[in-house]
Structure 1
Amino acid sequence: MDNSAPSAPQPWRPSAVAGPLALAVFQVAGTFGASEGQPDRRAVDAFALLLVVAGPVSLLWLRRHPVAVLWFVNAVTLTYLLRGYAYGPVMISAVIAAFACVVLGHRASAWGAVAVLFTGHFGLRGFFRDEPWSWGQVLAVAAWALLVLILAEFARVRRERSIAARAARSETLKRQANEERLRIARELHDTVAHHMSLINMQAGVALHLIDRQPEQAQAALTAIRDASKEGLTELRALVDVLRDEEQRAPRSPTAMLGSLDDLVERSNAAGLVVTKRVEGDQRTLPTAVELAAFRIVQESITNVIRHADADAAQIELGYGETELDVRIDDNGRGGVVDAETGGSGIRGMRERASALHGSLTVGASPLGGLQIRARLPLTEDR
């Protein structure tokens, strides 16, 4: 698995150059120091310095081309060792390259490169120099190489877990943002659509009566004023919540079941005869349930006004022990509604019901039009 970073730093940026440059200086100085303590080894010459510097310089491209850099550093290191130069810090570049490849997910390449370097050093040096080796040396170098690779594997696991945790957090934030976007869209749709539908209907009435029956036109204009005022109040409350940078709990919503009488009155004023009937023990319900029920009723009445060509609608609230049964019927023309989509209004109502682990169905009404029925479990506030 390749977990390398999506964008590696440019190799010539000062922050990227500083590390390899410091390593090159250290390896050159360390090689001279090691050579003085190992007089039996080949003296440091220009080619040795070239090999010592080539490893750190190649690390500039380690993040962009980790496998290629690993094998290049291995070749440089193996050449240095087979020529018989003094043992010293030349191995650091190979260790860094192998460690980085394991961490970045190129595990097979890293383990293979270390194996090639190990076997090449002990298997080929007899062909280049008459230099015997012992099993003690082999075991010591093998243990050292395994330690480096095991530590790299631990670092890789930690890195992959960190990446997975960040991805999970990002997905959670994305899901929460999407849910909040849908919630805001529902609130805006339900708030604006209902009041604009009432305003549109009353405006048509006012235009029709303004010359012949000005007193009735005045009543329609008053209804327009009231509907626009209430709509602006709800929009202002929603905007205030969105502007709350400290994420304080929003004020209690005014759109609750207690406001249904006002909704019925406004709808009657708009020319749609709406009646309300309550069954069971009417009581205060959890806020989330009351808000969802009110919005479902509001959107249903809005759809009746806008699309159903109806003159009457009926709202029924059934208070049960474990759920609230909400039914809205009209005597309009009905029609087939797509159960999956049904427009943004039906979709929004279904989302509200689903958010409470409830259900919403759309079907034919006994009154001849359409029936919207929602079953909302009486859950606690969320």
Structure 2
Amino acid sequence: MTSGQRLDLLVVFVSLVLYAIAWPTLQVTHHVPAGVQPVIAGLAALPLLLIRANPALGWAISAAGALVIPIVYERTGDFDFPWQVVHVMVIMALLLAVSMRAPLPVVAVAWMSTSLLFLADAPGQDGRGWAFGLTVLVLFGLLIRWLVLSRRQLAQQEEVNEVERARRAILEEKARIARDLHDVVAHHMSLVVVQAQSAPYRIDGVSPEAKAEFESIGATAREALNEIRGMLGVLRSDGQLAENAPVPGIGRIDELIEGSRRAGMAVSIERSALPTAMPDTAGLAIYRILQESLSNAARHAPGAAVRVTLTGEDASTVLTVTNAAPPGAPAPATGRSGGHGIIGMQDRALSVGGTLTAITTPDGGFEVRARIPTAPAGSEAHIAPA
């Protein structure tokens, strides 16, 4: 049994006890016909049953009974108070519950109405004392209410702080991993650059073609190393924010194409009606999608020609990367390797409000088409089945 259920049982028990007291003693305080006594006793004691479920409704019933009973039924000669003691106890308990739980306008109405009721019906000058006591009771209930509310807010704030501490710990661990990744990758990529640049001097009889290939490897490795340092190197500096780090954009498309050509790919590019200015996020998305598309074409269609087009349409820039079928036997087209390249490009386009489709062309090649808006939009990215 829960604590709430135990409290409900206690309320029912107390209400029944008070009812058992109010019914037999009603004839001592008021001239009430015997057949009506159970109802009048119920009005005095049973509204207490609502103290947890709806204290405002319970108070309203009890106050209405307190207003009507002195008017309808006369008091006995030995009793000059307008209500039974049970009735007074119940209405005070309900007023306290209202002040602790009901909206503040309801609290104000209940306090004023109850005070006026006692001022009007209490004998002699007792009404003033009762009104003062009821005011103290309401203030006490409000004090408890605000204390409980402040403790609840404090508990919620502590929970938020705990979540924030956990989140900060995760971010710190991710930053540490990123720094380690930067150190490891930067070290090995630096070795690749040094070996590629020094190979023609360390190895005798290197042909001009092999020397050009070594230079291409070194240039590609340097470019990759620069990007890694741009993305992860900022983690080693407390004074530089990641968003201030230089990021590639549409202005570096030619470098990307040239790097692919140095790697032996036959890449052509066409541009038309491009906007004069473009948000950094849109430029970065176009750059990364083109980078991934060229990488996929090199892996899955080696030797195939690749055509890149960049076209400005309305408020968007359309990037299309099409590779022909690979020479010889048909090979899996771009994006069908089971990896995450297409999904990553989809997420990249979606992050700036763009769309992306990836389809197999009729000649066995593959085409990636991305539409990137020059301003954020609410469209969703879609992937066509490959």
Q: What is the TM-score when the length of structure 1 is the normalising length?
A: 0.49
Larger Rg: 2
Bigger relative CO (Cα 8 Å, ≥ 6 apart): 1
Q: What is the TM-score when the length of structure 2 is the normalising length?
A: 0.48
